A and B are shown apart, each in its own frame.
Chain A
């Protein structure tokens, strides 16, 4: 019996496109051929238009076939055991331009390794950052992160090193590391992909953080919509404990750190850090007033380092290669790499990790390839439901924190949703308010009531009832929500609304003349 190893993603996107059924079909076909088939389930490479993408190793390189479905199983086995030729062949996977042109400091192993195998992880360079950190004192680790210029990848972009110093400097009998894996922004899936495809990098980042700030317990607050990520994380954590990567004696250092996964219960607002902490305490996910900062009084009132998944996944490379190496990527105060997620109506959708500073147009047109249905792009929304809508004439803006902020937009969590020319921006602006009605925690009035008033006002503008007056009311309402809301939910809902009005006034029945001064 001849032996064959195939690599098939377990990533949710691949599964949603038929990877599990394909796996079953491959096993059936292999049995028929008396072929000793091993299928290694990996993460996704992030080229989602090719999923399910099956890979096989040939002459030391991985060659791919995609998108393949169960009806291709027989011909695929014929091809990979024969001359390799198949109509779905995409050649050497790492030579595909979409992948080749990326800088993968975070996602390098995603799609390559078995995500729950410690052995595979270490064979591919895993834990080098942790090993270095274990030889440093905690202040030096915090300084390394500070020097790297890493900023929080969840959306706020706060300098990570300052948070680390604050938590490290706080005196307490217990401190916590809390990972915000409540990735609720539409258009984003980087957290999901790394948790499904390379969870040990998150575990490593958390462990380094724990050692640096003096925390022995870590929690991953994971949204309930991600069952695959939950399964992979729990398996990886169990294997990490067995391998001595977690527990009372991390890698024989005498230092303790352990991790638990907590599953949320369907609330967008729990992506806000204080709301997340309340939820993790088993309470309603209502936002807390700040101060006190979670860094000083977080989970159960103890100093807590709350970070987004990607922020912590950036840490191993910083420790391994040094702050200076990391800082060399990016531009200005936006250092390092960002996994951009290209989504919506897009031809080549997926994850593209690269240094900050490339143009929006490159992501939308060159890399994303424009729309899926071939219609012209009319708008993109950047950074989730609380992000700005931008028209093509602004596509030459560079993707970094400062440039985006200067143009009333934000990088957010790096998600880019592409819309074709059938989009109605009034409907999208209305939806921003609708979403806020649905997801507001209800604690502060500007958000709870303002969002309801926003939907009503939008309807009056659409139906041309006291049009001019209601356009003024809308602006008033947006200002009030920005100034008066307790957190970003109410405070940033006006961003999609006002950007839509500003850049697409015709959809609101407003004469574009108002825009001439822009």
Chain B
């Protein structure tokens, strides 16, 4: 599908540009360079306006992510339950810093600010799988599971 054909259905919808960008990212995994020009044309906006929206939101990525994205909660309730140590431990275990993608592009580590699992913290999300009372072992196992599912 071309970028224009992905985003066209959202023209005229409330908040259409944001929903359209979500749709592109779902299809392509990230927002490619030419999205600014295409979305500006389709939505009758300036490129600056489109770029402004993309750069404002954490969800929108300008570069390909790893095949599996591990998001570890960095917010207070998780900190209270050992979240800071978990982040350090995960970074060590995967040899990546928060915000980095591995050279082989198989994994991205990312902080997230609250998954709403604060009563069973610390929390993480591996791909679209939620993990509560998370530790490095539990997260690593979930990563493996996610990888296996992709292969099969």
Contacts and interface: CB of A to CB of B under 8 A. Distances in A.
Given A225-B114, A267-B57, A13 B131 contact: no
Interface in A290-343: 341-343
B57 A417 contact: no
A279 interface: yes
Given A13-B132, A265-B57, A419-B80, A341 B15 contact: no
Interface in A437-469: 438-439, 441
B80 A13 contact: no
21 contacts: A16-B130, A16-B131, A49-B119, A225-B112, A260-B14, A265-B18, A265-B60, A266-B58, A266-B59, A281-B15, A282-B43, A283-B17, A283-B49, A284-B56, A341-B119, A344-B81, A344-B121, A345-B81, A381-B76, A415-B118, A441-B56
Contacts of A161: none
A418 B118 CA distance: 10
Interface string B72-91: 01011111111000000000
Interface string A18-60: 0000000000000000000000000000001101000000000
Contact of A183 (B57, B79, B116): B116
Contacts of B60: 265
Contacts of B58: 265-267
A12 B116 contact: yes
A186 B117 CA distance: 9
B21 interface: yes
B97 interface: no
Contacts of B137: none
A174 B76 CA distance: 40
Contacts of A428: 76, 79
**A186, A285, A341, A343: which has the most chain B beta carbons within 10 Å?**
A186
Nearest to A435: B113
Contacts of A281: 14-15
A417 B80 contact: yes
Interface stretch (A124-132, A187-195, A394-402, A508-516): A187-195
B59 A12 contact: no
Contacts of B115: 12, 16, 225
Contacts of A420: 80
A417 B73 CA distance: 14
B107 interface: no
A48 B22 contact: no
A343 B119 contact: yes
B119 A350 contact: yes
Interface residues of B, number: 42
A13 B115 CA distance: 9
Interface of B: 14-19, 21-22, 43, 49, 52-53, 56-60, 73, 75-82, 112-121, 123, 128, 130-133
A251 to B, nearest CB: 25
Nearest to A283: B53
B51 to A, nearest CB: 10
Contacts of A286: 56
Contacts of A439: 113
B80 A423 contact: yes
B118 A279 contact: no
Nearest to A270: B57
A379 B129 CA distance: 31
A165 to B, nearest CB: 26
Interface string A350-377: 1100000000000000000000100000
**B18, B22, B114: which has the most chain A beta carbons within 10 Å?**
B114
Contacts of A183: 114, 116
A187 B120 contact: no
Given A17-B133, A435-B113, A224 B119 contact: no
Interface in A222-263: 224-227, 260, 262-263
**A51, A345, A439: which has the most chain B beta carbons within 10 Å?**
A345
Contacts of B75: 186, 385, 435
A189 B16 contact: no
Given A285-B57, A372-B81, A262 B15 contact: yes
B56 A48 contact: no
Contact of B116 (A192, A219, A262): A192
A91 to B, nearest CB: 21
A491 interface: no
A13 B117 contact: yes
A205 interface: no
B15 A187 contact: no
A349 interface: yes
Nearest to A229: B116
**B17, B112, B116, B128: which has the most chain A beta carbons within 10 Å?**
B116
Nearest to B114: A186
**A342, A372, A441: which has the most chain B beta carbons within 10 Å?**
A372
Contact of A349 (B43, B56, B59, B118): B118
Contacts of A226: 116
A49 B81 CA distance: 14
Contacts of B79: 428, 431
A280 interface: yes
Contacts of A189: 116-119
Contact of B21 (A265, A280, A350, A417): A265
A349 B121 CA distance: 9
A266 B112 CA distance: 9
B59 A224 contact: yes
A390 interface: no
Contacts of A49: 119-120
Given A186-B114, A227-B128, 6 more contacts: A12-B117, A15-B130, A188-B118, A282-B14, A428-B76, A438-B113
B134 to A, nearest CB: 8
A226 B22 CA distance: 15
A343 B118 contact: yes
B14 A186 contact: no
A429 to B, nearest CB: 11
A346 interface: yes
Contacts of A12: 115-117, 130
A5 B60 CA distance: 42
